[in-house]
């Protein structure tokens, strides 16, 4: 990159002693807010898109964007003019609010990546053009890495956007960004066209009542007690007489179904616009962890002979939790589902170790380690999310009340999704048992 000495420093009117630092800090501040707002709003797309690989990829990109924002914040705090607040300004937030309002989920993905993230890449490149690479070496090295990440993100998302026509939304957002002068406002600004109105000002965003799983068959729940109907037979999981090979298959199904955690956790970001950045950062890590856990099953099951096109996905947890408040969703996830899974998963890990399957042992060990971290997140952040929604009850009392409300909501919103496949077509516990016996 070309040094900015001739282009910027020499042309900058003499001002305060720290003008050069404050200029660069201001640019970093804008980039921090853009990355942070991508984390908050792109997550709202995850439960809307049906392609499972795309869900996984969005989770990865959100986690990486959170990392960018965190490193930029830390660097920004070293510079005069970055500011101590972490608030995203309305004039930046409105672009993301506009993009997420698109009714077609894939058109929305196109708008996020082809316009907003493309403009972010341009902002990073502009930053490298206008800063001094020796004086501002710490920032420059970070930005160079993030430029590479943004280019990779664009390449990774491209296969999913082939054939997606988001030109109308793209044109609108691009026009608005031209008015702003790009994220850094370095470019010459334009004027809004006559009669222009933001769509987000007229449409209240709402998460879908049912999350999408694309081409895959769905049902209300994969857990049950009937081997001829349910793939995860509860009585078999902890029974010491159960074949360890069946236990391995069952835990992989369970892990793949953690995609439901991905879908309902992804809704909390958008609903907490005033949360501290560190809360969203930890949620982004939590989300990426759950995505990886789901991939453990998604990628291992076919190796063991499971046809994923015949394995139904359970949607009950999303359908129920999306009806509840963000603190209730988070309380159930961290303080009930995850905290309550350790005893059963410990027994499963012991059984799987009988198979001397190093890969399975490794995946389950990392799953357990991650889940312990998630429970710690719950203890740290649940009180903060409660405060955001004016909840003043003690945490323990709130959690107990939330469990009871979950039971009530289950009666109303659970069990609504019929089986996509008949018992003869879909994979059941009996089918897994037969596969297990063949996996010597």
Q: What local confidence, expressed as pLDDT, does residue 17 receive? A: 64
> Residue 313 belongs to what H/E stretch?
strand 313-314
Question: Could you tell me which of 204, 205, 208, 203 has the C-alpha nearest to residue 323?
Answer: 208
Tell me, what's the pLDDT at 2?
32
Say which residue the tokens 């406002």 belong to: 185
Q: Tokens for 116?
A: 């907003």
Q: Contact, 193 vs 175, CB < 8 A?
A: yes
* Residue 364 structure tokens: 């389950």
With beta carbons less than 8 A apart as the criterion, state whether 183 and 31 touch.
yes
Residue 282 · residue 377 · CB < 8 Å: yes
Residue in 410, 378, 107, 429 with CA at minimum distance from that of residue 247: 429
Q: Is 19 exposed, middle or buried (CB count within 10 Å of its CB: 0-12, 13-18, 19+)?
A: middle
Bridge partner residues of 223 (DSSP): 232
| CA-closest candidate to residue 256, choices 315, 306, 299 | 299
Cα-based distances in Å from 423 to 61, 230, 266, 417: 37, 9, 31, 15
pLDDT of residue 172: 86
C-beta atoms surrounding 242 within 10 Å: 17
CATH topology of domain 5-201: Ferritin (1.20.1260)
Q: What is the DSSP track for 361-392? A: HHHHHHHHHHHHHHHHHHHHHHHHHHHHTT--
SS (H, E, C) 193-249: CCCCCCHHHCCCCCCCCCCCCCCCCEECCCEECCCCCCCEEHHHHCCCCCCHHHHHH
Predicted local confidence at residue 13, as pLDDT: 52
Q: At CB < 8 A and 24+ separation, what contacts does 154-162 make?
A: 154/113, 154/117, 154/118, 154/121, 156/57, 156/61, 157/57, 157/61, 157/109, 157/113, 160/51, 160/53, 160/54, 160/57, 160/106, 160/109, 161/106, 161/109, 161/110, 161/113, 161/114
> How do the pLDDT tens digits run along the chain, 440 residues long?
333 333 443 445 555 767 789 999 999 999 999 999 999 999 999 999 999 999 999 999 999 999 999 999 999 999 999 999 999 999 999 999 999 999 999 999 999 999 999 999 999 999 999 999 999 999 999 999 999 999 999 999 999 999 998 788 888 888 889 888 899 988 777 777 777 888 888 989 999 999 999 999 999 999 999 999 999 999 999 899 999 999 999 999 999 999 999 999 999 999 999 999 999 999 999 999 999 999 999 999 999 999 999 999 999 999 999 999 999 999 999 999 999 999 999 999 999 999 999 999 999 999 999 999 999 999 999 999 999 999 999 999 999 999 999 999 999 999 999 999 999 999 999 999 999 988 66
Q: What is the pLDDT of residue 6?
A: 32
């Amino acid at each position: 990159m070309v040094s900015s000495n001739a282009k910027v420093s020499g042309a900058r009117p003499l001002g305060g002693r720290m003008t050069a630092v404050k200029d660069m800090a201001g640019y970093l501040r804008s980039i921090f807010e853009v990355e942070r707002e991508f984390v908050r709003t792109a997550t709202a797309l995850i439960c809307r898109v049906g392609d499972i690989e795309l869900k996984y990829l969005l989770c990865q990109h959100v986690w990486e964007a959170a990392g960018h924002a965190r490193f930029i914040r830390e660097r920004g705090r070293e510079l005069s003019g970055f500011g101590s607040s972490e608030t995203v300004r309305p004039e930046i937030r409105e672009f993301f609010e506009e993009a997420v309002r698109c009714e077609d989920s894939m058109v929305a993905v196109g708008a996020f990546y082809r316009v907003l993230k493309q403009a972010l890449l341009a902002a990073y490149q502009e930053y490298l053009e206008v800063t001094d690479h020796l004086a501002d070496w710490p920032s420059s090295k970070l930005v160079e890495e993030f430029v590479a990440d943004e280019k990779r993100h664009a390449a990774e998302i491209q296969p999913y956007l082939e054939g997606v026509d988001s030109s109308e939304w793209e044109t609108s957002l691009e026009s608005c960004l031209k008015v702003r002068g790009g994220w850094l406002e370095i470019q010459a600004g334009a004027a809004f066209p006559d009669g222009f109105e933001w769509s987000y000002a007229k449409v209240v965003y709402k998460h879908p009542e049912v999350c999408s799983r694309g081409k895959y068959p769905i049902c209300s729940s994969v857990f049950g007690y009937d081997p001829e109907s349910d793939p995860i037979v509860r009585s078999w999981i902890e029974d010491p007489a159960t074949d360890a090979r069946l236990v391995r298959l069952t835990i992989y199904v369970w892990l793949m179904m953690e995609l439901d955690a991905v879908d309902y956790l992804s809704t909390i970001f958008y609903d907490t616009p005033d949360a501290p950045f560190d809360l969203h950062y930890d949620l982004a890590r939590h989300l990426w962890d759950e995505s990886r856990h789901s991939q453990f099953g998604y990628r291992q099951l076919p190796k063991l002979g499971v046809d994923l096109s015949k394995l139904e996905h359970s949607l009950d947890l999303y359908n129920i939790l999306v009806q509840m408040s963000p603190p209730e969703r988070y309380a159930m996830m961290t303080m009930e589902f995850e905290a309550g899974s350790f005893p059963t998963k410990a027994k499963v890990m012991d059984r799987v170790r009988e198979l001397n399957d190093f890969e399975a042992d490794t995946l389950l060990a990392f799953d357990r380690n991650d889940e312990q971290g998630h429970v710690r997140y719950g203890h740290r952040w649940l009180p903060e999310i409660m405060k955001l929604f004016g909840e003043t009850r003690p945490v323990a009392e709130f959690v107990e009340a939330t469990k009871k409300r979950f039971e009530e909501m289950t009666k109303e919103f659970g069990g609504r999704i019929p089986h996509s496949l008949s018992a003869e077509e879909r994979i059941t516990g009996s089918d897994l048992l037969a596969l297990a016996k063949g996996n010597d």
